[in-house]
Structure 1
Amino acid sequence: MAVAALAESAPLAGHPKTRSLRAVRTWLYILAALVVAMIAVGGATRLTGSGLSITEWKPVTGAIPPLTEQAWLAEFEKYRQIPQYELMNKGMSLSEFKFIYAWEWGHRQLGRLIGFVFFLPLLWFWARGAIKGKLVLTLVAIGALGGLQGAIGWIMVASGLEPGMTAVAPIKLALHLTVASVILACLVWVAAGLKDPEEIPNEGNIGRFAPRFLVGLVLLQIALGGLVAGSKAGLTYNTWPLMDGAFVPPGSALFVVKPWIENFVDNVVLVQFNHRMVAYAIVAFALWHAWSLRRQAPASKASRRSTALAGLTLAQMALGIVTLLFVVPLWAGLAHQVFAMAVLGMAVAHARVSGLTKAA
């Protein structure tokens, strides 16, 4: 990859090229942190029921909030025309509207901030020659994905403005969360690959498949978590380890919706069951991977990374169980969503560095 080639061309730690490389890496990690913050604010927006408070998509002029009482009343009137207000929030006061509006406005503002923090340094690093070739194309592609994410966000919101809807469509919420997670994974992948040759540990052939497979499982689980959030499946079957008295619910409950394929999105029993089962698979695979590396290379950094990653997956599963048992309080729902990003970031960094280790 271009990242590895760039790392190999860096001569010494004090060399200007190496300093530029580290500056690029720091910038990418800052962006990754901002994406996690964006996901956290998005989660708070969803859990406070604020996501439909702004009924228009204005990428430029929407950056300015209502500044006068008349402007606030006009925005409030737009919200009062949508089904969510009529069916759930009728009688809401203006001050209550301002509260939910602030969450959604803040979420959109953070998206604009990420755009500036991405593109301005990108142009600066490019002009100075700190990034070049395929690395530039990779970063531009990540930026394009970020732009697409903005459009997906509006498509998601628009789905909640349709007649009879009081929330966004679960599949569109899951897509929005998954794309955000892919952007985070791409940023961490590129940043973790920007290493000086002397920074790459010589750990021998520890394998690439298992770490990358784990990344895939984590992304799948995040997508399933988006479906749980969108369908509010976490508000049902708030027991563990059994669901309605059974570890595996009967097929008549799992596939009650016709056609059967729609159960994976619309049936809260199957949606929650899938999320549970993939969580068990992730923890089991992470523990096996850590055990395998501790046998193969017990004193290596890869072994320590895999052990830490296994610990993170166990902690995330425990947090998910607490979130379920307490019927998704705000603090637990947010913590579970943000911690998922920590698991993903660690899994991606482990997979990337393990790939560098093998090639070294």
Structure 2
Amino acid sequence: MELNTKKGNKAVAIWLLIGVGMIIIQVLLGGITRLTGSGLSITEWKPILGAIPPTSEAAWEHAFDTYKQIGQYKYLNTHFTLSDFKFIYFWEWFHREWARLIGVVFAVGFVYLIVKGYLNKNMVRPMIILFVLGGLQGAIGWIMVSSGLNEENLYVNHIRLAIHFIAALGLLVYTLWFAFQLLVPESERVVAPSLRKFTGWMIAIVVLQLIYGAFMAGLKAATFAPTWPTINGEWIPSNITTFGNRTFSGLQKFTDNPFAVHFIHRTLAYVITILVIIWLAKAAKITTGKLFKRTQWLPLVVVLIQVLLGILTVLNAANTKALLWLGITHQFVAMIFLIVWVWELYLLRKTKEN
């Protein structure tokens, strides 16, 4: 019976980790979609029929004509040919198609695990939450896209973009945590309440940084200050309250002004790096837990790589092709950084019972 339980847990965990990998790819496709300006190319939401792209020249012309009705085309892409439209259509279609594939993999895997008898009653509630989160993410995605299908918005609002991004990461983290519960022996977890609390705060700060990363992408903030270490020659931007002919007040100073967003994103990167060094110094004092000792250096390595990628992304912001691939790599490492922290949090316990 114990062998069957172990086998079942491993099967479920593998299924979950496949889902984690697919979610990571989906987020990266979302980043490509955003950076190529493809997100508004498909103006309809057809969960089933939308899986098939236009199959004739007439169907392509109809899809292009529909795109011509929104502001992004009228004020930004009037120079587009049908070939240009097909390029942006592909990325948005692929992004949606991959989401459908995730749903299929989860559904088929779920049925397979039930048939094999690998799911037990303790897994029912997490499974329900998992499917609800997946469905919610799809709904958020369409709400985000539909908000830009008008004559006023040239792109999807950066705050809605951040919500979509963080919701995807929430699904990723929940799935990953579920897999850890099935794979990691309890004997490998370390009782370290103080460091666990510190790790929790680190995750909170990293999530804030990820939100500002989404703001950076949504506002194209890197292109306004492709310099480092200063921001266009200033350590603290003098135009935090204004941008062009716009004046910001209240929270908008920190969320809507590209220069303020850029400054906050950079500053958080430096703060996080310092905190990682402090965290590692505290973690080095823990002598128990083989897995923890083997992986406690990961946050420092990943944050250093991420800072370097961030600098390179900013310096190459004027190069569209370089910005795309550096930006996507930067986004990928950001997800790895979050995963590393979730891993460290899981290995640390408040008490022996928790």
TM-score, with length taken from structure 1: 0.89
User: Structure 1 pair 27/213, CA: closer, same or farther in 2 (3 Å)?
Assistant: same
Q: Tell me by how many angstroms 1:24 deviates.
A: 0.7
Q: Tell me by how many angstroms 1:196 deviates.
A: 5.9
Residue pairs, 1:103-182, within 5 angstroms: 103-126=91-114, 128-182=116-170
Indicate if the aligned counterparts of 1:63 and 1:109 stay in contact, CA closer than 8 A. yes
Match of 2:297 among 299, 307, 311: 307
% identical aligned pairs: 37
Q: Which residue in the other structure is 2:349 paired with?
A: 355
Number of residues of Structure 1 aligned to a counterpart in Structure 2: 345
Q: Which residue in the other structure is 2:240 paired with?
A: 254
Match of 2:333 among 328, 339, 344: 339
Q: Tell me by how many angstroms 1:356 deviates.
A: 9.0
Which segments of 5 or more consecutive residues in structure 2 lack a partner in the other structure? none
User: Structure 1 pair 356/194, CA: closer, same or farther in 2 (3 Å)?
Assistant: farther
Cα distance in structure 2, aligned partners of 1:258 and 1:204: 47
Corresponding letter in the other structure for 1:132: N
TM-score, with length taken from structure 2: 0.91
Indicate if the aligned counterparts of 1:232 and 1:268 stay in contact, CA closer than 8 A. yes
Match of 2:254 among 252, 255, 264: 264
Q: Deviations over 1:108-143 (max 9, x none)?
A: 000001111112222332454423334321222122
Corresponding letter in the other structure for 1:310: L
Q: Which residue in the other structure is 1:225 paired with?
A: 213
Residue pairs, 1:47-86, within 5 angstroms: 47-86=35-74
Q: Which residue in the other structure is 2:181 paired with?
A: 193
Indicate if the aligned counterparts of 1:157 and 1:168 stay in contact, CA closer than 8 A. yes
Corresponding letter in the other structure for 1:82: I
Q: Which residue in the other structure is 2:324 paired with?
A: 330
In the alignment, is residue 205 of structure 1 matched against residue 192 of structure 2? yes
Which segments of 5 or more consecutive residues in structure 1 lack a partner in the other structure? 1-9
User: Structure 1 pair 131/284, CA: closer, same or farther in 2 (3 Å)?
Assistant: farther
User: Structure 1 pair 144/308, CA: closer, same or farther in 2 (3 Å)?
Assistant: same
Cα distance in structure 2, aligned partners of 1:92 and 1:310: 45
Q: Tell me by how many angstroms 1:80 deviates.
A: 1.3
Deviates more, 1:19-28 or 1:232-241: 232-241
Indicate if the aligned counterparts of 1:203 and 1:300 stay in contact, CA closer than 8 A. no
Indicate if the aligned counterparts of 1:159 and 1:168 stay in contact, CA closer than 8 A. yes
Indicate if the aligned counterparts of 2:299 and 2:341 stay in contact, CA closer than 8 A. yes
Deviates more, 1:269-278 or 1:21-30: 269-278
Q: Which residue in the other structure is 1:45 paired with?
A: 33
Indicate if the aligned counterparts of 1:83 and 1:163 stay in contact, CA closer than 8 A. yes
Cα distance in structure 1, aligned partners of 2:130 and 2:262: 31
Deviates more, 1:61-70 or 1:203-212: 203-212
Indicate if the aligned counterparts of 2:33 and 2:95 stay in contact, CA closer than 8 A. yes
Cα distance in structure 2, aligned partners of 1:106 and 1:17: 38
